[in-house]
Amino acid sequence: MKKILKIAKLELSVLFFAPVAWLVLVIFFLQSGNRFLGLFGSYQEAIAMGNQVSDLTFAMFPGTGGLFEQTLQNIYFYIPLLSMGLMSREISSGSIKLLLSSPVTVKEIIFGKYLAITLYGFLLVMILVVYAVTGAVLIRNADYGLIASGLLALLLLICTYAAIGLFMSSLTGYQVVAAISTLAVFAALQYVGSVGQGIDFVRDFTYFLSISGRTDDLLKGLISSRDVIYFLLIIGLFISLSILRLKAARSPQSAGMLLMKYTGIIVAVLLMIYLSSRPQFIWYKDLTANKVRTLTPNSQAVAKQIKGDLVITTYVNLLDQNVYAGLPVSRNLDMSRFDAFRRYIPGLKMKYVYYYDITDLKNNRNMVYQGDLTGFTVKQVAEKVADNMGLDVNDFMSPADIRKRIDLSIEDNNFIRVLEYKGRTSKLRLYDEMDAFPSETEITAAIKRLIVPAAQIAVITGHNERSILKTGERNYESFLNAKKVRRSLINQGFDVSTITLDSNPVPDRLSLLILADPATALKPAELTGLKSYIDNGGNLMITTEPGLQQLINPILKWVDIQLKEGALVMPSNDNLPDQVITTTFKEGMPVAMPGVSALQYYNNGVFIADTLLMSAANGWNKQGELAKGSTDISYHPDLGDVKGSYPTAIALHRTVRGKVQKIFVSGDADFISNKELSQPKGMNQRFSTKLFKWFANGEFPIDTRRPEPKDNEILLKKRQISTLKLVFTGLIPLLIGLLGAYIIISRKRK
């Protein structure tokens, strides 16, 4: 060990008696300081202007443009400059012969030089520590774990780059060649993950060999044994290769023997990297304050209930616009979307089925980029698309074959995943959003449906009610039944269907029956069926509109509620008078109700009532009809107008046959309409989600919300940041430069 330390000390003295080492320190300090304090100033300015800024620790360090992210992009430029002379300098000067003939082992030489370069790398990390400590002090409630994880990531990366640089330096006597070769190896490790991604066996090895992305999780607060072991193995690989290279120079061996040794070490390391990347062998530690790199407690509780194999089969349609997301070249990226769940479900397995099929060739939106397809058959279209993408159409099942296996026409043959567990199935879809893939919420809901029955909702039809199948403004398709809308209830753990009361008895298994703003009266037989459903303790939701009091009040009488005559209005400079912004009785959450009737509850001791929404006190219940689109409104008490705050939504409950019955009545049917949710004027989506969670006894939708980040304030003024910038980007780099100049000049004088 003493000899290793002496070699390291000698190497460091050589390094610091040259200007390159000092120049790198100065540039690195300046570059880091400009980025860090520039971001500090920007966020401080935003806060001073009244903008809401949160998660500052992430934004300042691993976030896009943050200090750690920028360091990750630039660090590979510095290491070759420092490592290129480690061995090549000895080779070019001839001192390698003296070194090899001295009473030191090859391992001591290599470890000594590696220790020297890693100590220099540690200095670079210490510069980052200076800024990290500054950030931790000046950001209120900074996320210390996130910062520590990021520093560990960069330290491991620098040590890995140093090992590579050491080996490349041992191959040549030309320092420039060593530097360029080191950069070439960095690039190879960066891009090897994209090699052979279409071949299963090759894909696994090249993907897990790639250094690209290995620091991502570490930078963002998640330490995994897979990534740490990867860096340690790569370091060990290149140090071992360096030792072999130097031993060959001291004791010449046959080319065949050297090749066997090199191959053996490389194969052993590759195998260990592959095995350490297997899900069952990975250990994780989330260092972030809010555990944002781990499943929320609700998701963990669901995942832990899966005992055995959970199979996720992804059906990838060649003729779907999202086909690329499921192709073999994207397989590892696609599988990584379930990594957080795999930690708690060791038996999670993913399969892929490739096919081509189309429901409506002429009007399908996936074909808009394929040109004129007049006269083409489905197979000819598939052949054209495959040729454009460089794929073999024979790798995809034909429509006839896929239909024998599964009927995907009900999903319009879109990209879809089917989850299977102990004979139960559920589905995961992609959505028409910027990020189309399911989030933790949707994945957890799909998994939970395999454990507990889905919440069953039936919507009554036959009287021009709000439809769950139409996209018009007044309908409920978006909230209840839109497959491509993330927050639609069918993607949140609910099954939604329609029912007619005249021919079908209401099933007992229903979680909720909805009567959504009928425009015509129910028939006597339908009323009898509905009354029987209520009397038997079924959950019910009724929505209606002003002007339908005579139609709906006979039904509401069964639950001790009536619609008041007239319609509520609220004076406003911006909205129509019938655009009433109600608020939740307890939380004050605004809910927009365009066109709403006031409700009145008659407490007959049958139900326990809870007023959920109230209109504003500055509005009134207006009698008579409002002129369509009119903004001019006047209060006329002589005509029956009455000012005040009125209930607009009431929830009822009682116990029937040992089960809690839940009923919700709204004087407005538009609050969950397609139009109101697409052009929100209030928090209708949040209110409605909570409402249906109540009906589902808290089972669905899954709550995966996390606590809001607390690091939202910078404890420094703009002027103080300028002073800090002067110190970090002026005074300290100047002192480092002067120290370096003094040491170099003193050395030359001696």
Reference 581, options 684, 705, 700, 477; nearest CA is 684
Burial of 281 (0-12, 13-18, 19+ CB in 10 A): exposed
C-alpha–C-alpha distance, residues 697 and 683, integer Å:
22
**How many structural domains comprise the chain?**
3
* 646, 592: one domain: yes
* 149, 22: one domain: yes
- Residue 716's pLDDT is 75
Tell me if 531 is assigned to some domain: yes
Region for 347 from its dihedrals, namely left if φ exceeds 0, alpha if ψ lies in -120 to 50, beta otherwise: alpha
State both tokens at 711.
């690091």
Check: CB of residue 651 under 8 Å from CB of residue 607: no
Domain span at residue 351 reads 297-429
Phi, psi angles (nearest 5°) of residue 360: -135, 95
pLDDT band at residue 457 using 50, 70 and 90 as cut-offs: very high
- Residue 195's pLDDT is 66
Tell me if 344 is assigned to some domain: yes
C-alpha–C-alpha distance, residues 107 and 654, integer Å:
80
| pLDDT above 60: residue 368 | no
Check: CB of residue 621 under 8 Å from CB of residue 642: yes
* 624, 523: one domain: yes
- Cite the DSSP H helix spans in 454-518: 477-480
Ranking 84-98, 155-169, 516-530, 654-668 by mean pLDDT, the lowest is 84-98
Count of alpha carbons within 13 Å of 356, Cβ hemisphere only? 22
- CA 235 from centroid of its chain's CA atoms: 31
Reference 616, options 647, 640, 594; nearest CA is 647
Handedness of CA 53, 58, 62, 66 (dihedral sign): positive
pLDDT band at residue 393 using 50, 70 and 90 as cut-offs: very high
Percent of the chain with pLDDT over 70: 93
Tell me if 438 is assigned to some domain: no
- Residue 688's pLDDT is 95
Reference 135, options 60, 236, 227, 23; nearest CA is 60
* 689, 738: one domain: no
- Residue 200's pLDDT is 63
pLDDT band at residue 171 using 50, 70 and 90 as cut-offs: confident
Tell me if 301 is assigned to some domain: yes
DSSP result, 376-408: --HHHHHHHHHHHHT--GGGSB-HHHHHHH---
- Residue 641's pLDDT is 86
Residue 646 three-state SS: coil
The residues, ordered by sequence, that sit 6+ positions from 68 with a Cβ below 8 Å of its Cβ are 61, 62, 128, 150, 151, 153, 154, 219
Where is mean pLDDT largest: 15-24, 259-268, 387-396, 472-481? 472-481
Give residue 322's identity as a one-letter amino acid code.
N
* 68, 135: one domain: yes
pLDDT in tens, 197-216: 666 666 666 666 677 678 88
* 109, 183: one domain: yes
- Cite the DSSP H helix spans in 577-728: 674-678, 684-695, 718-726
Check: CB of residue 449 under 8 Å from CB of residue 441: no
Tell me if 434 is assigned to some domain: no
- Residue 371's pLDDT is 62
Reference 215, options 151, 166, 270; nearest CA is 151
Strands (E), 277-386: 284-286, 310-317, 348-355
C-alpha–C-alpha distance, residues 511 and 661, integer Å:
10
Q: Which helix (H) or strand (E) holds 261?
A: helix 255-276
- How many CB atoms neighbour CB 142 within 10 A? 22
Phi, psi angles (nearest 5°) of residue 291: 55, 45
Mean local confidence (pLDDT), 684-690: 94
Q: Which residue has the tokens 């832990």?
A: 304
C-alpha–C-alpha distance, residues 319 and 382, integer Å:
7
Ranking 222-226, 381-385, 462-466, 714-718 by mean pLDDT, the lowest is 714-718
DSSP result, 615-633: --TT-EEE-SPPPTT----
Where is mean pLDDT largest: 569-573, 590-594, 725-729? 590-594
* 63, 99: one domain: yes
* 473, 497: one domain: yes
- Residue 372's pLDDT is 62
pLDDT in tens, 468-484: 999 999 999 999 999 99
| pLDDT above 80: residue 490 | yes
pLDDT in tens, 56-100: 889 899 988 889 988 888 887 888 887 887 777 777 777 777 776
Mean local confidence (pLDDT), 609-628: 86
* 277, 310: one domain: no
CATH number of the domain that residue 469 is part of: 3.40.50
* 222, 335: one domain: no
Residue 418 three-state SS: strand
Mean local confidence (pLDDT), 41-52: 78
Percent of the chain with pLDDT over 90: 44
* 201, 333: one domain: no
| pLDDT above 70: residue 194 | no
| pLDDT above 80: residue 111 | yes
pLDDT in tens, 402-451: 999 999 989 989 999 999 999 999 999 999 888 899 999 999 999 999 99
pLDDT band at residue 627 using 50, 70 and 90 as cut-offs: low
* 260, 351: one domain: no
Tell me if 567 is assigned to some domain: yes
Check: CB of residue 726 under 8 Å from CB of residue 67: no
pLDDT in tens, 144-165: 999 999 999 999 999 999 998 8
Tell me if 116 is assigned to some domain: yes
- Residue 700's pLDDT is 92
- Residue 40's pLDDT is 80
Name the domain boundary from 368, 397, 429. Answer: 429
Tell me if 505 is assigned to some domain: yes
Q: Which residue has the higher pLDDT, 652 or 503?
A: 652
